[in-house]
Structure 1
Amino acid sequence: MPQFFLNKRLIILLVSIIILVALIGFSLKEREELTWPEQFIKDTTGWVQTLVSRPAHSIAGFFENVKDLQNTYEENKELKSRLNELAQLKADVQSLREENDELRDIVDKQESLSDYEPIQATVIGRNPDRWMWNELVIINKGSTTGIERNMPVITSTGLIGKVKNTRQFTSTVQLLSSNDSTNRVSAEIVGDETYYGQIEGFDRETESLLLKRIPYEAKIEKGQIVQTSGMGGVFPSQLIIGTVEEVVPDEYGLTQTAYVKPGANFYDIEHVMVVKRSMIQPELQDMIGEEEDKK
Protein backbone atom coordinates (compact mmCIF):
# COMPACT_ATOMS: atom_id res chain seq x y z
CA MET A 1 0.00 0.00 0.00
CA PRO A 2 2.65 2.56 0.81
CA GLN A 3 4.45 1.65 -2.41
CA PHE A 4 1.30 2.34 -4.36
CA PHE A 5 0.90 5.83 -2.93
CA LEU A 6 4.55 6.58 -3.58
CA ASN A 7 4.15 5.65 -7.24
CA LYS A 8 0.95 7.70 -7.44
CA ARG A 9 2.71 10.82 -6.16
CA LEU A 10 5.49 10.29 -8.68
CA ILE A 11 3.01 10.00 -11.50
CA ILE A 12 1.25 13.24 -10.38
CA LEU A 13 4.60 15.03 -10.24
CA LEU A 14 5.54 13.91 -13.72
CA VAL A 15 2.15 14.93 -15.12
CA SER A 16 2.46 18.36 -13.47
CA ILE A 17 5.91 18.88 -14.94
CA ILE A 18 4.63 17.92 -18.40
CA ILE A 19 1.68 20.34 -18.08
CA LEU A 20 4.00 23.13 -16.88
CA VAL A 21 6.39 22.60 -19.79
CA ALA A 22 3.47 22.62 -22.17
CA LEU A 23 2.16 25.83 -20.73
CA ILE A 24 5.60 27.44 -20.94
CA GLY A 25 5.94 26.36 -24.53
CA PHE A 26 2.48 27.61 -25.28
CA SER A 27 3.20 31.03 -23.71
CA LEU A 28 6.47 31.39 -25.59
CA LYS A 29 4.80 30.74 -28.88
CA GLU A 30 4.30 33.85 -31.01
CA ARG A 31 0.61 34.69 -31.10
CA GLU A 32 -1.39 37.61 -32.39
CA GLU A 33 -3.90 37.48 -29.53
CA LEU A 34 -3.73 36.48 -25.92
CA THR A 35 -6.04 34.01 -24.32
CA TRP A 36 -8.78 35.36 -22.10
CA PRO A 37 -7.05 34.24 -18.83
CA GLU A 38 -3.83 35.97 -19.91
CA GLN A 39 -5.74 39.06 -20.98
CA PHE A 40 -7.62 39.11 -17.64
CA ILE A 41 -4.46 38.74 -15.60
CA LYS A 42 -2.65 41.37 -17.66
CA ASP A 43 -5.50 43.90 -17.42
CA THR A 44 -5.92 43.29 -13.72
CA THR A 45 -2.20 43.73 -13.10
CA GLY A 46 -2.11 46.96 -15.14
CA TRP A 47 -5.10 48.39 -13.28
CA VAL A 48 -3.54 47.58 -9.92
CA GLN A 49 -0.21 49.16 -11.00
CA THR A 50 -2.05 52.30 -12.14
CA LEU A 51 -3.99 52.45 -8.90
CA VAL A 52 -0.82 52.19 -6.82
CA SER A 53 1.50 54.31 -8.99
CA ARG A 54 -0.64 57.46 -9.08
CA PRO A 55 -0.72 58.03 -5.29
CA ALA A 56 2.93 57.02 -5.11
CA HIS A 57 3.85 59.61 -7.74
CA SER A 58 1.71 62.23 -5.99
CA ILE A 59 3.35 61.59 -2.63
CA ALA A 60 6.80 61.59 -4.19
CA GLY A 61 5.97 64.86 -6.01
CA PHE A 62 4.69 66.42 -2.76
CA PHE A 63 7.90 65.66 -0.89
CA GLU A 64 9.93 66.87 -3.86
CA ASN A 65 7.98 70.15 -3.88
CA VAL A 66 8.52 70.54 -0.13
CA LYS A 67 12.23 70.00 -0.62
CA ASP A 68 12.30 72.53 -3.48
CA LEU A 69 10.39 75.01 -1.31
CA GLN A 70 12.87 74.53 1.52
CA ASN A 71 15.78 75.03 -0.86
CA THR A 72 14.11 78.18 -2.20
CA TYR A 73 13.65 79.50 1.35
CA GLU A 74 17.31 78.87 2.19
CA GLU A 75 18.44 80.51 -1.05
CA ASN A 76 16.16 83.50 -0.41
CA LYS A 77 17.51 83.83 3.13
CA GLU A 78 21.09 83.75 1.87
CA LEU A 79 20.31 86.31 -0.84
CA LYS A 80 18.72 88.65 1.73
CA SER A 81 21.80 88.30 3.90
CA ARG A 82 23.99 89.18 0.94
CA LEU A 83 21.75 92.15 0.12
CA ASN A 84 22.12 93.41 3.70
CA GLU A 85 25.87 92.97 3.45
CA LEU A 86 25.83 94.80 0.12
CA ALA A 87 23.84 97.70 1.62
CA GLN A 88 26.25 97.90 4.57
CA LEU A 89 29.22 97.74 2.20
CA LYS A 90 27.69 100.54 0.10
CA ALA A 91 27.21 102.67 3.23
CA ASP A 92 30.80 101.98 4.34
CA VAL A 93 32.12 102.90 0.90
CA GLN A 94 30.11 106.13 0.91
CA SER A 95 31.34 106.99 4.41
CA LEU A 96 34.95 106.27 3.44
CA ARG A 97 34.55 108.29 0.26
CA GLU A 98 33.23 111.29 2.17
CA GLU A 99 35.96 110.94 4.78
CA ASN A 100 38.58 110.65 2.05
CA ASP A 101 37.26 113.78 0.32
CA GLU A 102 37.25 115.66 3.63
CA LEU A 103 40.82 114.57 4.41
CA ARG A 104 41.91 115.58 0.90
CA ASP A 105 40.36 119.00 1.46
CA ILE A 106 42.21 119.27 4.77
CA VAL A 107 45.50 118.31 3.10
CA ASP A 108 44.91 120.94 0.43
CA LYS A 109 44.10 123.43 3.17
CA GLN A 110 47.28 122.57 5.05
CA GLU A 111 49.37 123.29 1.97
CA SER A 112 47.93 126.81 1.80
CA LEU A 113 48.53 127.68 5.46
CA SER A 114 51.78 129.57 5.13
CA ASP A 115 51.63 131.87 8.15
CA TYR A 116 50.44 129.40 10.77
CA GLU A 117 50.91 125.75 11.69
CA PRO A 118 47.88 123.42 11.55
CA ILE A 119 47.46 120.58 14.06
CA GLN A 120 45.08 117.94 12.78
CA ALA A 121 42.55 116.49 15.26
CA THR A 122 39.34 114.45 15.38
CA VAL A 123 36.12 115.22 17.20
CA ILE A 124 35.50 112.55 19.84
CA GLY A 125 32.47 114.00 21.63
CA ARG A 126 30.13 116.87 22.38
CA ASN A 127 28.90 118.42 25.57
CA PRO A 128 25.67 116.41 26.12
CA ASP A 129 23.90 119.34 27.80
CA ARG A 130 24.44 121.59 24.78
CA TRP A 131 24.29 119.18 21.88
CA MET A 132 21.20 120.73 20.32
CA TRP A 133 22.77 124.19 20.41
CA ASN A 134 26.03 123.05 18.78
CA GLU A 135 28.13 124.98 21.30
CA LEU A 136 30.93 122.69 22.48
CA VAL A 137 32.88 119.77 20.98
CA ILE A 138 35.77 117.73 22.33
CA ILE A 139 38.80 116.84 20.20
CA ASN A 140 41.49 114.19 20.71
CA LYS A 141 44.47 116.55 20.96
CA GLY A 142 45.60 118.46 24.03
CA SER A 143 48.45 120.34 25.64
CA THR A 144 50.92 117.52 24.94
CA THR A 145 50.64 118.29 21.21
CA GLY A 146 51.02 122.04 21.70
CA ILE A 147 47.37 123.07 21.77
CA GLU A 148 46.64 126.13 23.90
CA ARG A 149 43.61 128.07 24.98
CA ASN A 150 42.04 130.47 22.40
CA MET A 151 43.68 128.78 19.40
CA PRO A 152 41.37 128.91 16.33
CA VAL A 153 39.82 125.67 15.08
CA ILE A 154 38.89 125.18 11.42
CA THR A 155 37.64 122.54 9.01
CA SER A 156 38.31 122.29 5.29
CA THR A 157 35.35 124.62 4.68
CA GLY A 158 35.92 127.32 7.27
CA LEU A 159 36.36 128.52 10.84
CA ILE A 160 34.25 126.74 13.46
CA GLY A 161 35.48 128.22 16.76
CA LYS A 162 38.34 128.35 19.24
CA VAL A 163 39.87 126.23 21.98
CA LYS A 164 38.07 126.97 25.25
CA ASN A 165 40.26 124.85 27.53
CA THR A 166 42.82 122.08 27.25
CA ARG A 167 43.90 118.96 29.08
CA GLN A 168 46.84 116.70 28.41
CA PHE A 169 45.24 114.64 25.69
CA THR A 170 41.95 116.39 24.87
CA SER A 171 40.65 119.90 24.34
CA THR A 172 37.22 121.53 24.41
CA VAL A 173 36.31 123.71 21.44
CA GLN A 174 33.74 126.50 21.69
CA LEU A 175 31.93 126.90 18.38
CA LEU A 176 31.10 130.21 16.74
CA SER A 177 27.43 129.33 17.15
CA SER A 178 27.75 129.64 20.93
CA ASN A 179 25.93 132.73 22.24
CA ASP A 180 28.66 133.55 24.74
CA SER A 181 29.31 137.27 25.21
CA THR A 182 33.08 136.60 25.08
CA ASN A 183 32.79 134.59 21.86
CA ARG A 184 33.78 137.31 19.37
CA VAL A 185 35.84 137.29 16.21
CA SER A 186 37.31 140.27 14.38
CA ALA A 187 36.28 139.84 10.72
CA GLU A 188 36.41 141.56 7.36
CA ILE A 189 34.21 141.48 4.28
CA VAL A 190 36.20 140.85 1.10
CA GLY A 191 35.34 143.02 -1.91
CA ASP A 192 36.44 146.05 -3.89
CA GLU A 193 36.56 147.77 -0.54
CA THR A 194 37.34 145.98 2.71
CA TYR A 195 34.90 146.55 5.55
CA TYR A 196 35.57 145.43 9.09
CA GLY A 197 33.19 144.17 11.74
CA GLN A 198 32.92 141.69 14.54
CA ILE A 199 31.17 138.32 14.80
CA GLU A 200 28.93 138.61 17.86
CA GLY A 201 26.31 135.95 18.29
CA PHE A 202 24.34 133.45 16.27
CA ASP A 203 20.77 133.70 14.97
CA ARG A 204 19.24 130.26 15.49
CA GLU A 205 16.19 130.93 13.35
CA THR A 206 18.22 131.62 10.20
CA GLU A 207 21.28 129.64 11.40
CA SER A 208 23.46 132.65 10.59
CA LEU A 209 26.37 134.30 12.34
CA LEU A 210 25.85 137.98 13.18
CA LEU A 211 28.57 140.29 11.86
CA LYS A 212 28.00 143.58 13.68
CA ARG A 213 29.54 147.09 13.74
CA ILE A 214 29.78 147.42 9.96
CA PRO A 215 29.92 151.08 8.87
CA TYR A 216 26.50 152.39 7.89
CA GLU A 217 27.71 153.67 4.51
CA ALA A 218 29.27 150.31 3.54
CA LYS A 219 27.88 148.86 0.29
CA ILE A 220 27.74 145.11 0.80
CA GLU A 221 26.18 142.50 -1.50
CA LYS A 222 24.90 139.02 -0.90
CA GLY A 223 27.53 136.33 -1.46
CA GLN A 224 30.58 138.38 -0.43
CA ILE A 225 33.14 136.36 1.52
CA VAL A 226 33.66 137.00 5.23
CA GLN A 227 37.01 136.04 6.76
CA THR A 228 39.08 136.74 9.84
CA SER A 229 40.91 140.06 9.77
CA GLY A 230 43.73 139.09 12.12
CA MET A 231 43.20 142.36 14.03
CA GLY A 232 41.81 140.80 17.17
CA GLY A 233 45.11 139.42 18.39
CA VAL A 234 43.80 135.84 18.59
CA PHE A 235 42.90 134.61 15.10
CA PRO A 236 45.28 134.86 12.13
CA SER A 237 43.96 136.59 9.03
CA GLN A 238 42.21 135.07 6.01
CA LEU A 239 40.46 132.19 7.77
CA ILE A 240 37.16 131.74 5.93
CA ILE A 241 34.08 132.30 8.10
CA GLY A 242 31.28 132.29 5.53
CA THR A 243 29.34 134.41 3.05
CA VAL A 244 26.97 137.33 3.43
CA GLU A 245 23.27 136.42 3.21
CA GLU A 246 21.62 139.71 4.20
CA VAL A 247 22.54 143.14 5.59
CA VAL A 248 20.24 145.16 7.85
CA PRO A 249 20.68 148.40 9.86
CA ASP A 250 21.16 147.96 13.59
CA GLU A 251 18.54 149.10 16.07
CA TYR A 252 20.00 152.61 16.37
CA GLY A 253 20.68 153.07 12.65
CA LEU A 254 24.34 153.97 13.20
CA THR A 255 25.90 150.75 11.89
CA GLN A 256 24.84 147.66 9.94
CA THR A 257 24.60 143.98 10.82
CA ALA A 258 25.27 141.24 8.27
CA TYR A 259 23.76 137.78 8.49
CA VAL A 260 26.59 135.42 7.52
CA LYS A 261 26.02 131.85 6.38
CA PRO A 262 28.83 129.77 7.96
CA GLY A 263 31.17 128.00 5.60
CA ALA A 264 31.43 125.07 8.01
CA ASN A 265 28.62 122.82 9.22
CA PHE A 266 28.59 123.23 13.01
CA TYR A 267 26.53 120.09 13.52
CA ASP A 268 28.38 117.59 11.32
CA ILE A 269 31.99 117.96 12.41
CA GLU A 270 34.47 115.08 12.37
CA HIS A 271 37.95 116.19 11.30
CA VAL A 272 39.34 119.59 12.30
CA MET A 273 42.58 121.55 12.41
CA VAL A 274 43.76 123.60 15.33
CA VAL A 275 45.63 126.67 14.09
CA LYS A 276 48.88 127.55 15.79
CA ARG A 277 49.77 131.06 14.75
CA SER A 278 53.39 131.43 13.61
CA MET A 279 53.45 135.18 14.15
CA ILE A 280 53.88 136.35 17.74
CA GLN A 281 50.47 137.46 18.90
CA PRO A 282 50.11 140.27 21.45
CA GLU A 283 48.70 139.61 24.86
CA LEU A 284 45.27 141.01 25.55
CA GLN A 285 46.60 143.03 28.48
CA ASP A 286 49.24 144.62 26.21
CA MET A 287 46.54 145.66 23.73
CA ILE A 288 44.46 147.21 26.53
CA GLY A 289 47.54 149.02 27.81
CA GLU A 290 48.27 150.46 24.37
CA GLU A 291 44.69 151.76 24.11
CA GLU A 292 44.97 153.41 27.54
CA ASP A 293 48.29 155.04 26.56
CA LYS A 294 46.62 156.47 23.44
CA LYS A 295 43.91 158.00 25.62
Structure 2
Amino acid sequence: MPQFFWNKRLIMLLVSIIILVALIGFSLRGRSQPSWPEQFVKDTAGWIQSLVSKPAQYVASFIGNLQDLQNTYDENKQLKTRVEKIVSLEAQVQMLKKENKQLRDVLGEKKSLSDKEPMAAAVIGRNPDRWQEIVIIDKGKVNGIKQNMAVMTATGLVGKVKSVNQFTSTVQLLSAMDPKNRISAIVQGSNTNGTVEGYDEEKKLLLVKRIPYDAKVAKGQTVITSGLGGVFPEGLLIGTVVDVKPDQYGLNQTAYVKPGADFYEIRNVLVITRLMPQPSLSQMGSQKGENF
Protein backbone atom coordinates (compact mmCIF):
# COMPACT_ATOMS: atom_id res chain seq x y z
CA MET A 1 0.00 0.00 0.00
CA PRO A 2 2.75 2.57 0.84
CA GLN A 3 4.50 1.60 -2.41
CA PHE A 4 1.29 2.43 -4.32
CA PHE A 5 0.99 5.90 -2.78
CA TRP A 6 4.66 6.57 -3.42
CA ASN A 7 4.25 5.63 -7.10
CA LYS A 8 1.11 7.77 -7.31
CA ARG A 9 2.99 10.79 -5.94
CA LEU A 10 5.84 10.24 -8.37
CA ILE A 11 3.40 10.08 -11.29
CA MET A 12 1.68 13.32 -10.15
CA LEU A 13 5.07 15.06 -9.83
CA LEU A 14 6.07 14.00 -13.33
CA VAL A 15 2.71 15.13 -14.75
CA SER A 16 3.06 18.50 -12.96
CA ILE A 17 6.56 18.98 -14.39
CA ILE A 18 5.29 18.16 -17.87
CA ILE A 19 2.39 20.59 -17.53
CA LEU A 20 4.74 23.32 -16.20
CA VAL A 21 7.16 22.84 -19.08
CA ALA A 22 4.25 22.94 -21.52
CA LEU A 23 2.96 26.18 -20.02
CA ILE A 24 6.43 27.77 -20.16
CA GLY A 25 6.79 26.75 -23.79
CA PHE A 26 3.34 28.06 -24.56
CA SER A 27 4.05 31.41 -22.95
CA LEU A 28 7.43 31.77 -24.70
CA ARG A 29 6.28 31.02 -28.22
CA GLY A 30 5.67 33.96 -30.55
CA ARG A 31 2.08 35.20 -30.43
CA SER A 32 0.45 38.20 -32.01
CA GLN A 33 -2.17 38.37 -29.27
CA PRO A 34 -1.85 37.56 -25.54
CA SER A 35 -4.06 34.94 -23.98
CA TRP A 36 -7.29 36.04 -22.32
CA PRO A 37 -5.93 35.59 -18.75
CA GLU A 38 -2.90 37.72 -19.60
CA GLN A 39 -5.07 40.29 -21.30
CA PHE A 40 -7.45 40.39 -18.32
CA VAL A 41 -4.59 40.88 -15.87
CA LYS A 42 -3.00 43.62 -18.01
CA ASP A 43 -6.30 45.46 -18.53
CA THR A 44 -7.10 45.30 -14.83
CA ALA A 45 -3.63 46.58 -13.86
CA GLY A 46 -3.83 49.35 -16.44
CA TRP A 47 -7.27 50.45 -15.22
CA ILE A 48 -6.09 50.55 -11.60
CA GLN A 49 -2.94 52.45 -12.59
CA SER A 50 -5.00 54.99 -14.54
CA LEU A 51 -7.41 55.33 -11.63
CA VAL A 52 -4.54 56.14 -9.26
CA SER A 53 -2.33 58.22 -11.57
CA LYS A 54 -4.95 60.73 -12.75
CA PRO A 55 -5.73 62.12 -9.28
CA ALA A 56 -2.03 62.09 -8.44
CA GLN A 57 -1.20 64.05 -11.60
CA TYR A 58 -4.00 66.50 -10.87
CA VAL A 59 -2.73 67.11 -7.34
CA ALA A 60 0.87 67.50 -8.55
CA SER A 61 -0.25 69.89 -11.29
CA PHE A 62 -2.30 71.90 -8.78
CA ILE A 63 0.67 72.19 -6.39
CA GLY A 64 2.94 73.15 -9.28
CA ASN A 65 0.51 75.85 -10.38
CA LEU A 66 0.40 77.23 -6.84
CA GLN A 67 4.21 77.38 -6.75
CA ASP A 68 4.31 79.09 -10.16
CA LEU A 69 1.70 81.57 -8.96
CA GLN A 70 3.76 82.34 -5.86
CA ASN A 71 6.93 82.74 -7.94
CA THR A 72 5.07 85.01 -10.36
CA TYR A 73 3.79 87.10 -7.46
CA ASP A 74 7.31 87.46 -6.01
CA GLU A 75 8.79 88.33 -9.41
CA ASN A 76 6.03 90.85 -10.00
CA LYS A 77 6.86 92.57 -6.69
CA GLN A 78 10.54 92.68 -7.59
CA LEU A 79 9.81 94.05 -11.06
CA LYS A 80 7.51 96.72 -9.63
CA THR A 81 10.29 97.77 -7.27
CA ARG A 82 12.77 97.92 -10.14
CA VAL A 83 10.35 99.89 -12.32
CA GLU A 84 9.88 102.41 -9.51
CA LYS A 85 13.66 102.73 -9.16
CA ILE A 86 14.08 103.10 -12.93
CA VAL A 87 11.44 105.83 -13.06
CA SER A 88 13.19 107.62 -10.21
CA LEU A 89 16.58 107.28 -11.89
CA GLU A 90 15.20 108.50 -15.22
CA ALA A 91 13.82 111.57 -13.50
CA GLN A 92 17.20 112.23 -11.88
CA VAL A 93 18.99 111.72 -15.19
CA GLN A 94 16.69 114.16 -16.97
CA MET A 95 17.18 116.71 -14.19
CA LEU A 96 20.96 116.30 -14.31
CA LYS A 97 20.97 116.59 -18.10
CA LYS A 98 18.98 119.79 -17.88
CA GLU A 99 21.28 121.23 -15.20
CA ASN A 100 24.35 120.17 -17.19
CA LYS A 101 23.05 121.86 -20.31
CA GLN A 102 22.28 125.03 -18.41
CA LEU A 103 25.76 125.10 -16.86
CA ARG A 104 27.42 124.46 -20.22
CA ASP A 105 25.38 127.25 -21.78
CA VAL A 106 26.41 129.62 -18.99
CA LEU A 107 30.07 128.68 -19.43
CA GLY A 108 29.82 128.76 -23.20
CA GLU A 109 30.88 125.11 -23.50
CA LYS A 110 29.16 123.36 -26.38
CA LYS A 111 31.12 120.12 -26.43
CA SER A 112 32.05 117.47 -23.87
CA LEU A 113 34.25 114.40 -23.69
CA SER A 114 31.10 112.34 -23.17
CA ASP A 115 29.47 113.45 -26.44
CA LYS A 116 29.01 110.43 -28.65
CA GLU A 117 26.88 108.92 -31.37
CA PRO A 118 26.10 105.18 -31.40
CA MET A 119 25.57 103.01 -34.47
CA ALA A 120 23.98 99.56 -34.20
CA ALA A 121 25.76 96.60 -35.81
CA ALA A 122 25.42 92.83 -35.80
CA VAL A 123 28.14 90.23 -35.33
CA ILE A 124 28.38 88.16 -38.51
CA GLY A 125 31.54 86.14 -37.90
CA ARG A 126 33.73 84.74 -35.15
CA ASN A 127 36.69 82.42 -35.50
CA PRO A 128 36.51 79.56 -32.95
CA ASP A 129 40.32 79.59 -32.70
CA ARG A 130 40.26 83.30 -31.76
CA TRP A 131 36.98 83.36 -29.89
CA GLN A 132 38.28 85.66 -27.13
CA GLU A 133 40.13 87.97 -29.51
CA ILE A 134 38.08 89.25 -32.46
CA VAL A 135 34.59 89.41 -33.94
CA ILE A 136 33.42 90.64 -37.35
CA ILE A 137 30.52 93.09 -37.65
CA ASP A 138 28.32 94.05 -40.61
CA LYS A 139 29.30 97.73 -40.78
CA GLY A 140 32.28 99.21 -42.66
CA LYS A 141 33.63 102.30 -44.37
CA VAL A 142 30.39 102.97 -46.23
CA ASN A 143 28.68 103.30 -42.84
CA GLY A 144 31.28 105.70 -41.47
CA ILE A 145 33.15 103.16 -39.34
CA LYS A 146 36.75 104.09 -38.59
CA GLN A 147 39.66 102.36 -36.95
CA ASN A 148 39.86 102.47 -33.13
CA MET A 149 36.21 103.36 -32.57
CA ALA A 150 34.79 102.00 -29.33
CA VAL A 151 32.47 98.99 -29.54
CA MET A 152 30.07 98.02 -26.77
CA THR A 153 26.97 96.02 -25.98
CA ALA A 154 24.00 97.11 -23.89
CA THR A 155 25.87 96.01 -20.76
CA GLY A 156 29.36 97.42 -21.33
CA LEU A 157 32.44 97.98 -23.46
CA VAL A 158 33.71 94.99 -25.46
CA GLY A 159 36.57 96.41 -27.52
CA LYS A 160 37.58 98.62 -30.41
CA VAL A 161 37.52 98.54 -34.21
CA LYS A 162 40.84 97.06 -35.30
CA SER A 163 40.46 97.14 -39.07
CA VAL A 164 37.83 98.40 -41.50
CA ASN A 165 36.74 97.06 -44.88
CA GLN A 166 34.19 98.51 -47.24
CA PHE A 167 31.19 96.69 -45.77
CA THR A 168 32.53 94.91 -42.68
CA SER A 169 34.88 95.61 -39.77
CA THR A 170 37.00 93.56 -37.39
CA VAL A 171 36.58 94.27 -33.67
CA GLN A 172 39.35 93.45 -31.21
CA LEU A 173 37.95 92.44 -27.82
CA LEU A 174 39.26 93.62 -24.47
CA SER A 175 39.96 89.98 -23.65
CA ALA A 176 42.54 89.76 -26.47
CA MET A 177 46.12 89.25 -25.28
CA ASP A 178 47.50 92.35 -27.00
CA PRO A 179 49.97 94.62 -25.11
CA LYS A 180 48.73 97.60 -27.16
CA ASN A 181 45.14 96.98 -26.12
CA ARG A 182 45.07 99.74 -23.49
CA ILE A 183 42.22 102.04 -22.46
CA SER A 184 42.33 105.12 -20.25
CA ALA A 185 39.85 104.52 -17.44
CA ILE A 186 38.54 106.12 -14.28
CA VAL A 187 37.23 104.45 -11.12
CA GLN A 188 34.02 106.14 -10.08
CA GLY A 189 33.66 106.92 -6.40
CA SER A 190 37.36 107.53 -5.96
CA ASN A 191 37.85 109.56 -9.18
CA THR A 192 41.07 107.63 -9.71
CA ASN A 193 42.58 107.24 -13.15
CA GLY A 194 44.10 104.02 -14.42
CA THR A 195 44.65 102.04 -17.58
CA VAL A 196 43.00 98.84 -18.71
CA GLU A 197 45.98 96.65 -19.60
CA GLY A 198 45.45 92.95 -20.00
CA TYR A 199 42.93 90.25 -19.18
CA ASP A 200 43.15 87.43 -16.66
CA GLU A 201 41.79 84.54 -18.71
CA GLU A 202 41.61 82.20 -15.72
CA LYS A 203 39.62 84.60 -13.54
CA LYS A 204 37.78 86.22 -16.48
CA LEU A 205 38.71 89.67 -15.18
CA LEU A 206 40.17 92.81 -16.74
CA LEU A 207 43.29 94.34 -15.22
CA VAL A 208 43.23 98.07 -14.52
CA LYS A 209 46.81 99.10 -13.78
CA ARG A 210 48.74 102.27 -12.91
CA ILE A 211 46.41 103.19 -10.06
CA PRO A 212 48.27 105.32 -7.45
CA TYR A 213 49.20 103.34 -4.34
CA ASP A 214 47.33 105.74 -2.04
CA ALA A 215 44.09 105.78 -4.08
CA LYS A 216 41.02 104.54 -2.20
CA VAL A 217 39.75 101.95 -4.65
CA ALA A 218 37.34 99.38 -3.23
CA LYS A 219 35.29 96.39 -4.31
CA GLY A 220 32.02 97.29 -6.01
CA GLN A 221 33.16 100.57 -7.57
CA THR A 222 32.36 101.13 -11.25
CA VAL A 223 35.05 101.59 -13.90
CA ILE A 224 34.32 103.71 -16.98
CA THR A 225 36.32 105.23 -19.84
CA SER A 226 37.87 108.56 -18.92
CA GLY A 227 37.80 110.07 -22.40
CA LEU A 228 41.38 111.28 -21.89
CA GLY A 229 42.91 108.68 -24.21
CA GLY A 230 41.94 110.80 -27.19
CA VAL A 231 39.74 108.29 -29.03
CA PHE A 232 37.06 106.82 -26.77
CA PRO A 233 34.38 109.14 -25.36
CA GLU A 234 33.98 109.53 -21.63
CA GLY A 235 31.54 107.45 -19.59
CA LEU A 236 31.47 104.08 -21.38
CA LEU A 237 30.96 101.32 -18.83
CA ILE A 238 33.90 98.91 -18.52
CA GLY A 239 33.00 96.90 -15.43
CA THR A 240 32.99 96.61 -11.65
CA VAL A 241 35.95 96.26 -9.27
CA VAL A 242 36.05 92.89 -7.50
CA ASP A 243 39.55 93.06 -6.00
CA VAL A 244 42.53 95.43 -5.60
CA LYS A 245 46.17 94.39 -5.16
CA PRO A 246 49.46 96.32 -5.03
CA ASP A 247 51.91 95.75 -7.86
CA GLN A 248 55.22 93.97 -7.36
CA TYR A 249 57.06 97.20 -6.48
CA GLY A 250 54.33 98.65 -4.23
CA LEU A 251 54.25 101.92 -6.18
CA ASN A 252 50.88 101.37 -7.83
CA GLN A 253 47.77 99.23 -7.50
CA THR A 254 46.05 96.87 -9.89
CA ALA A 255 42.27 96.56 -9.84
CA TYR A 256 40.66 93.32 -10.99
CA VAL A 257 37.49 94.30 -12.83
CA LYS A 258 34.56 92.12 -13.80
CA PRO A 259 33.55 93.21 -17.33
CA GLY A 260 30.07 94.60 -17.75
CA ALA A 261 29.77 92.83 -21.10
CA ASP A 262 29.87 89.11 -21.74
CA PHE A 263 32.80 88.55 -24.13
CA TYR A 264 31.69 85.00 -24.85
CA GLU A 265 28.15 85.81 -26.00
CA ILE A 266 28.16 88.81 -28.37
CA ARG A 267 25.39 89.10 -30.96
CA ASN A 268 24.63 92.81 -31.38
CA VAL A 269 26.88 95.77 -30.65
CA LEU A 270 27.01 99.54 -30.76
CA VAL A 271 29.89 101.27 -32.52
CA ILE A 272 30.52 104.57 -30.73
CA THR A 273 31.59 107.70 -32.60
CA ARG A 274 33.32 110.30 -30.43
CA LEU A 275 32.01 113.78 -31.29
CA MET A 276 34.70 115.67 -29.40
CA PRO A 277 37.70 116.53 -31.65
CA GLN A 278 40.57 114.10 -31.24
CA PRO A 279 44.04 115.36 -30.33
CA SER A 280 46.84 114.58 -32.74
CA LEU A 281 49.19 111.66 -32.14
CA SER A 282 52.12 114.03 -31.65
CA GLN A 283 50.20 115.87 -28.94
CA MET A 284 49.38 112.56 -27.20
CA GLY A 285 53.03 111.49 -27.42
CA SER A 286 52.10 107.91 -28.24
CA GLN A 287 52.20 105.57 -31.18
CA LYS A 288 49.07 104.80 -33.17
CA GLY A 289 46.84 102.24 -31.54
CA GLU A 290 48.30 102.39 -28.06
CA ASN A 291 46.03 104.46 -25.84
CA PHE A 292 42.28 105.00 -25.86
CA shift digits 1:138-178 (9 cap, x unpaired): 00000100000000001110100000000010000000011
Higher relative contact order (CA 8 A, sep 6+): 2
Q: Contact conserved, 2:114 with 2:235, CA < 8 A, in 1?
A: no
Give unmatched runs, 5+ long, in structure 2: 1-32, 37-89, 98-112, 287-292
Amino acid at match of 1:129: D
Q: CA deviation at 1:283?
A: 2.3
Letter in 2 for 1:153: V
Flag as ranges the 4+ runs of structure 1 deviating above 2 A.
111-114
**How far off is 1:220 after superposition?**
1.4
CA RMSD in angstroms, aligned pairs only: 2.4
2:267 is aligned, of 267, 270, 284, to: 270
> Of 171, 186, 191, which residue of structure 2 is paired with 1:194?
191
Unaligned ranges ≥5, structure 1: 1-58, 63-107, 290-295
Aligned residue pair count: 181
1:242 aligns with 2:239: yes
* Aligned twin of 1:121: 121
How far did 1:218 drift? 1.0
Supply the distance in 2 between the matched residues of 1:264 and 1:234 (Cα, whole angstroms). 20
Aligned with 1:231 (options 206, 209, 228): 228
Cα drift, residue 253 of structure 1: 0.7
CA shift, 1:219, in A, is 1.4
Amino acid aligned to 2:237: I
Q: Distance in 2 between matches of 1:168 and 1:142?
A: 5
More helix by share: 1
Deviations 1:56-110 (A, max 9, x none): xxx9xx9xxxxxxxxxxxxxxxxxxxxxxxxxxxxxxxxxxxxxxxxxxxxx9xx
The question of 1:185 aligning with 2:174 is answered no
Larger Rg: 1
In 2, Cα distance between equivalents of 1:219 and 1:286: 30
* Equivalence for 2:133: 135
SS at match of 1:280: coil
Aligned 8 A contact 2:230 2:278 in 1: yes
SS of 1:201's partner is strand
2:153 corresponds to: 155
Deviation at 1:128, TM superposition (A): 3.5
TM-score (norm 2): 0.59
Residue type at the aligned position of 2:222: I
Following superposition, the deviation at residue 114 of structure 1 comes to: 7.0
| 3-state SS, counterpart of residue 285 of structure 2 | helix
Scaled by the length of structure 1, what TM-score is found?
Answer: 0.58
